[in-house]
Structure 1
Amino acid sequence: AHILLRSSEMGLSGFMRRLLTGYAVSYNRRHRRWGHLFQNRYKSIVCDEDAYFTELVRYIHLNPLRAKLVKNLSQLDRYRWSGHSVLLGKVENDWQDRDYVLKWFGKTQGRAKDAYRNYVKKAIGEGRRPELVGGGLIRSLGGWSAVKAMRRSGGRELSDDRILGSGEFVERIIKEAEAKIKFQLPVSENHQKINEYISKICKNEKVSIDELTGGSRRKEVSGVRNRIAIELVKGRGVALAEVARRVGVSTSAISKILKRTSQ
């Protein structure tokens, strides 16, 4: 199965954990079985939306046809287990952002649906696209022809198997990730930096560490707690559970703080 998602600043892992666990529990109950349903962790690839969004939508939606689950495009139009039928209005899925996708294909819904379907139709004979599902260098450069041209010219471009985009996009994503990784726990030096940061904020706001970690709901304490949580998670990439432990609340409370700031 493939899902094209836009992740929040909280990242993808929490959402995927809930999705996979919820599905496994539902499946096991429905089929009266127990134990693990998924053998391995899900695979995720960061994508450059501007360059690859429509291609990925098309590639994912053609999967049932490539797998011979449907015989032709007409059957795919009504296939309920693909987002393709949702975009055409044949099936409804509340969780799928149909309007956002169609805006990429036209200003009015009717024209957008026609343009989208024609776009999908053109790629029916393409088969698998390795540059969309594996090989960071291939994806970063835009296909085998670009890779060969780069080799002939003796040039090099940054690539990564986990990222789908241009070399410039790959470099930016890696730098952003590295900036967060520098502060991730557990590393004694980073423990010290985080302790210093928390102490500084508490001192400036005249809030004691005991109040902060003791679960106090005083307005001033809550304000400091929110500020620390946002900086540690969003600015420094510290795990939610670790932040929760340091400010005296539950992990779900940290999630709520982050959601409020994102709205």
Structure 2
Amino acid sequence: MVRGINKTDIFIDDQDRVNFLQRLGENIIETKSSVYAWVLMSNHVHILFKSGQKGISTVMRKLLTWYAIYFNRRHKRTGHLFENRYKSILCEEDRYLLALIRYIHLNPIRAGIVRDVETLNTYPWSGHSAVMGKSKCQWMDTEYVLAQFGTKKKAARKAYRRFIEEGLNIKYGTELTGGGLIRSLGGWSQVLSMRRKGQKGEFDERILGEGDFVHNILEEVEEKEIRQLKIHFSGKSITDIIKEECKKRQVSVKELKGGSRRNKVSQTRALIAYKSIEELGLSTAEIARHLGVATSTVTRAIARGEKLNNA
């Protein structure tokens, strides 16, 4: 979920919505991800998807960076558009997939934007209409959603619609409990910090699933944390990374922090940003302070640095 800063609108008109969806679709196809549900509200967006080769961070970073630049230019505004970063919840597919689809697709009715499911069937700013066959959304995996309700499309759509309607009689959000849907924290570093302090067991605000699922996911994440901790205890810092990369690429630290846009300098900055996040687990704000640039610049640099590092 992504929300406008101070809950301000992130869509002014239908052109904004169309452009957002077009870019979302391009990113989903490019990263070979699968979308099962989505809805655009005035000041926030919900998307349920299975990330592909690049992971959720790549999809969302590219989408939100592009859209913020587009929105500010089109509407002649400056400053941040989104509230911090996006909020994500890791979902155990078998248990919670359908509940999340229903939760997301019922948003327009619960918000009073449309009056009933019949109207929702043709509402263009939700994936529900695509599942019902009333609109086309080539990048949404409607076939997978319908397959959860039957093998024949017509019967599956009827069963899906009945499932959506039944959700109107369920207290908002009560399906999405267990394993930890309270609210999303600021990032994996926050979750891991809490785990180290013993504040949570097999229960985590960013993971929606049963205890074993949560445990297994945290074990996977902690492998990355262990690598980062080894680097941390070795005494390596972002200052060391800056010196290493500048020496390797024959770029002066002064030029690097001076905002130079020379290609070699930009590449060096990108690699430093990427390695600082991967090896040290630093936030974009911390990296920005050390490089003397804006956090939005760091976000773009990380994506570029990843490509350069893997080239």
Q: Same fold (TM over 0.5)?
A: yes
Gaps (5+ residues) in structure 2?
1-44, 184-199, 237-247, 250-274, 282-301
Normalized per residue, the structure richer in strand is 2
**CA shift at 1:136, angstroms?**
1.6
Residue of structure 2 aligned with 1:72, choices 116, 134, 140: 116
- Does structure 2 retain, via aligned residues, the 8 Å contact 1:159–1:170? yes
What are the within-5 Å matches in structure 2 for residues 55-204 of structure 1?
Answer: 55-130=99-174, 132=176, 136=180, 158-184=202-228, 187-189=232-234
Looking at structure 2, the residues matched to 108 and 239 of structure 1 have their Cα atoms a distance apart, in angstroms, of 50
Looking at structure 1, the residues matched to 70 and 98 of structure 2 have their Cα atoms a distance apart, in angstroms, of 32
Q: Does 1:14 align with 2:58?
A: yes
**CA shift at 1:106, angstroms?**
1.3
**CA shift at 1:108, angstroms?**
2.0
Query: SS of the counterpart of 1:71?
Result: coil
Query: CA offsets, 1:73-129, max 9 Å, x none?
Result: 111111111110111111222321211211111112222211111111111122411
Where does residue 299 of structure 2 map in the other structure?
A: none
Structure 1 pair 99–122 and aligned structure 2 pair: CA distance change class (3 A): same
Number of residue-to-residue matches in the alignment: 200
Runs of 4+ in 1 over 6 A off after TM superposition: none
Looking at structure 2, the residues matched to 63 and 189 of structure 1 have their Cα atoms a distance apart, in angstroms, of 49
- Does structure 2 retain, via aligned residues, the 8 Å contact 1:102–1:112? yes
Looking at structure 2, the residues matched to 99 and 137 of structure 1 have their Cα atoms a distance apart, in angstroms, of 27
Q: TM-score, normalised by structure 2?
A: 0.54
Query: CA offsets, 1:104-160, max 9 Å, x none?
Result: 111122222111111111111224115627982889xxxxxxxxxxxxxxxx97211
Structure 1 pair 66–93 and aligned structure 2 pair: CA distance change class (3 A): same
Query: SS of the counterpart of 1:187?
Result: helix
- Does structure 2 retain, via aligned residues, the 8 Å contact 1:131–1:138? no
Looking at structure 2, the residues matched to 17 and 136 of structure 1 have their Cα atoms a distance apart, in angstroms, of 25
- Does structure 1 retain, via aligned residues, the 8 Å contact 2:130–2:136? yes
Gaps (5+ residues) in structure 1?
140-155, 192-212, 215-232, 241-249
Looking at structure 2, the residues matched to 99 and 50 of structure 1 have their Cα atoms a distance apart, in angstroms, of 16
Q: Does 1:30 align with 2:36?
A: no
- Does structure 1 retain, via aligned residues, the 8 Å contact 2:179–2:211? no
- Does structure 2 retain, via aligned residues, the 8 Å contact 1:183–1:190? no
Q: TM-score, normalised by structure 1?
A: 0.63
